[in-house]
Structure 1
Amino acid sequence: MRRQRLSDQPEAWVSYLDRIAEANNWKQDGYRPLLVDGHELGQTSDAFAASLEKYPDVFVIEPNAVRLADGLSSYDERTEAIAACLNDIRQTRGIHGWRNENYPVGRTFERPVFEIERAAVPLLGTRGYGVHMNGYVRKDGGFFMWIARRSLQKATAPGKLDQMVGGGQPAGLSVRDNLIKECGEEAAIPRDLAEMARPVSAITYRCVRPEGFRWDLLWCYDLELPASFVPVAADGEVDEFMLMNINDVAAGIRETTDYKFNCALVILDFLIRHGFVEADDPDYEHLVTGLHPRF
């Protein structure tokens, strides 16, 4: 099948780059680093930093930084102390989308120094992690992708279009095990089929969203599915699945904001890797580097 070259539609380049720009709109003004043992582990808004002044035994608010108190030195001490603060804030002013699911916090995913509630990640501005899987089908000489429509009940991006499978990466679970779990929960993909998913890429971005500062790394997987397989929304997080021609998917990314902002990036990465966006197109380098910026 002929891959669709971007040069066939020159106006499309700006739109693809718009998706990357939307996911990298963060500016330092109004934010200060979250420091732990002298290392920057997040970016906290001045407004949320003010709400942390109530907890001086946990957070030290400085003119240009938020610092975790020196007396908190162990993983468990930090996790428990921060959890108490966040629970208090949740009770007094609310934290949207509370999930009772912890995310690891550290300079790298492999070496966390504490955990925090997932809904607080964009408030403290720590790095978030997720796993996204593109499910695709080759049939009748064409190339198709399964696209999910997010439930209107979702805390973030309700009703937006999404990968077939995607979810946050909690503490205490491997990326591969999390992917297999999400495959079963979100799309009723049997374990033996889910295990065939291939790790292919990782993308990252920093942006300001309604929920706060997003500084995420997403592990990307591809799974080629048999034409006979039809996903089923198993956990209520998806309203419907649609099998879409890849050119229609690409057009949706280029020309609309119908897709959840980070899912658009995962699909753009897929389009590049599978040759639907080619290296001789004018903005290829900007697209590739925009999906993998160095922070």
Structure 2
Amino acid sequence: MSMQGYLRHIERLNHWSPGNFKSLFFQGQRIGRLKQPVWKALGQWSDAFRQDDEGLHLQGHYDSFEARTGLFAEITSTLVDEGVISHIHGEQYPVTHAGRETAIATMDRASAPYFGLRAYGQHLNGFVRHGEVLKLWIARRSADRRNFPGCLDNMVAGGLPYNISLAENLRKECMEEANVPPSLANRAISVGVLTYCTETAVGLKPDTLYCYDLELPGDFLPHNSDGEVAEFMLLPVDEVARLVAKSDEFKLNCNLVVIDFLVRHGIINPETPGYLDLVQGLHENI
């Protein structure tokens, strides 16, 4: 299959125009990027933000984690009421210039792209070996999902809230999305992270995905308990590769998770022209 069939997904998820954004800083560190409707709306909080040619600066008198979190909660609630932000999700994401451990506050998950916050997720490839053939469990998202309804998805995938460990969140997502018991979920192997940065109509998504492989028993049958998945399919890895390369059936970032799996398991060949561009493109930074 043509390497361009895979590369197009990476290119779609790494396309943005810096000129469309103002940076949001705290103590000289960039913590987000804002499109015009949001940075204009923040003028209501003139005591909280100072504006200059570089961007907007969160003022130092918000001098505690709790005070900054409270400010962002007030902003989010107000901007939802004003129709600038679509909704409140209910999970708290870190506001940070680097990793989750450097968070200076938290903000509702739905606000993250409006503020250009780096968001974190976990995606798990559930696979089975049938002799020499690898098969992947693929989920189809429910038709009532707010984002990408009816699209294909990794067997387990979810956001990573601030106040939970990676191991605990992975166990929770495995149980909710595919009824993988904790004893089996604990066998998942961490295989690295993927990063991308994409502009949306409302903001910016500089996302980090923690990825995992979990080899499952041949008789394991996933089933969903939180209503997010319509069905699961066990597909040969060559068929999954074809779907990624030839179609747009997968939720956008799930393509990257599958491509990474194909690279690590040698199914995408390093002899193929464009291989290095593909691998490097899975780890874009801003």
Q: Deviations over 1:46-74 (max 9, x none)?
A: 22211111111223343441221221121
Letter in 1 for 2:38: F
Q: Give the match for residue 228 of structure 1.
A: 219
1:58-77 aligned within 5 A: 58-77=48-67
Q: Give the match for residue 207 of structure 2.
A: 216
TM-score by length of 1: 0.93
Q: Give the match for residue 281 of structure 2.
A: 290
Q: Give the match for residue 13 of structure 1.
A: 3
Q: Deviations over 1:56-109 (max 9, x none)?
A: 122334344122122112111100011111111112215325211100121221
Q: Give the match for residue 12 of structure 2.
A: 22
Say if 1:49 and 1:61, in contact at 8 Å, map to a contact too.
no
Q: Give the match for residue 153 of structure 2.
A: 162
CA distance in 2, matches of 1:170, 1:256: 31
Letter in 2 for 1:123: Y
State the 1:272 CA deviation: 0.2
Q: Give the match for residue 254 of structure 1.
A: 245
TM-score by length of 2: 0.96
CA distance in 1, matches of 2:218, 2:87: 36
Q: Give the match for residue 137 of structure 1.
A: 128
CA distance in 2, matches of 1:155, 1:59: 32
Q: Deviations over 1:90-140 (max 9, x none)?
A: 122153252111001212212211100000000000100001100011114
CA distance in 1, matches of 2:87, 2:226: 17
2:170 corresponds to 1:179 = yes
Q: Give the match for residue 41 of structure 1.
A: 31
Q: Give the match for residue 281 of structure 1.
A: 272
Q: Deviations over 1:192-211 (max 9, x none)?
A: 00110000010000001345
SS of 1:19's partner is helix
Cα distance, 1:62–1:154 mapped onto 2, change above 3 Å: farther
Letter in 2 for 1:75: F
Which ranges of structure 1 fall in alignment gaps of 5 or more residues? 1-8
CA distance in 1, matches of 2:51, 2:141: 38
Letter in 2 for 1:165: V
CA distance in 2, matches of 1:185, 1:57: 42
Q: Give the match for residue 207 of structure 1.
A: 198
Q: CA RMSD in A?
A: 1.3
State the 1:294 CA deviation: 3.4
CA distance in 1, matches of 2:69, 2:227: 30
Sequence identity percentage: 37
Letter in 2 for 1:168: G
